[in-house]
Amino acid sequence: MERRRRTLFDILDEYFSRAERIFESALESGWDEFSSCIEPLSNVFVGTSDVIITIDMPYVDRESVRVGVHDDVVEVLARTEKPICLDEMGLRHRRGRFDSYHTVLRIPVPVDKERMETRLKRGILEIRLPRVA
């Protein structure tokens, strides 16, 4: 089979795709310096009657936690009780200063968002969403 000759656009497209992947993987650590936001560790557990989502947010300001459920995603926003600075963690080459958490998680099964329950203990937010048939 004759191979199509790659055009300049194909080469540029490939280059930008690769650059985008590298950039995304650099941001994977979840410390977003541009928005001063940390993407927290999270876990989605699908039980027989509930979906239980937990989110680990050390130093979270409990009064600031906001949880929203839209279609099949849950979005959590919260502020930290004090700014978290990378240089205070011994990193001299980065100047990140973080004051909030933000994450968006997909809910893998249908849930009743009206019966959502949340609790925060030791900086870990638990969101319990009853499943619907």
CB of 1 to another protein, least distance (A): 35
Determine the Cα angle at 61 with ends 128 and 45, to 5°: 20
Q: With respect to another protein, which residue has the nearer C-beta, 63 or 71?
A: 63
Instruction: Please say which residue, 51 or 84, places its beta carbon nearer to another protein.
Output: 84
Nearer to another protein, 69 or 86 (CB): 86
Binding site for another protein (CB under 8 A): 29-30, 38, 40-41, 43, 45, 54, 56, 58-59, 84, 89, 121-124, 126
CB of 10 to another protein, least distance (A): 31
Cβ proximity to another protein: between 41 and 109 the closer is 41
Q: Of 52, 99, 109, 96, which is closest to residue 78 (Cα–Cα)? A: 99
How far from 111 is each of 7, 54, 73, 76, 117, CA to CA, in Å?
Answer: 48, 16, 10, 17, 12
Nearest-approach distance from CB 77 to another protein, in angstroms: 18
**73-85/66-70 β-pairing:** antiparallel
Contact partners, residue 16, CB within 8 Å, separation at least 6: none
Q: How far is the CB of 59 from another protein (least distance, A)?
A: 5
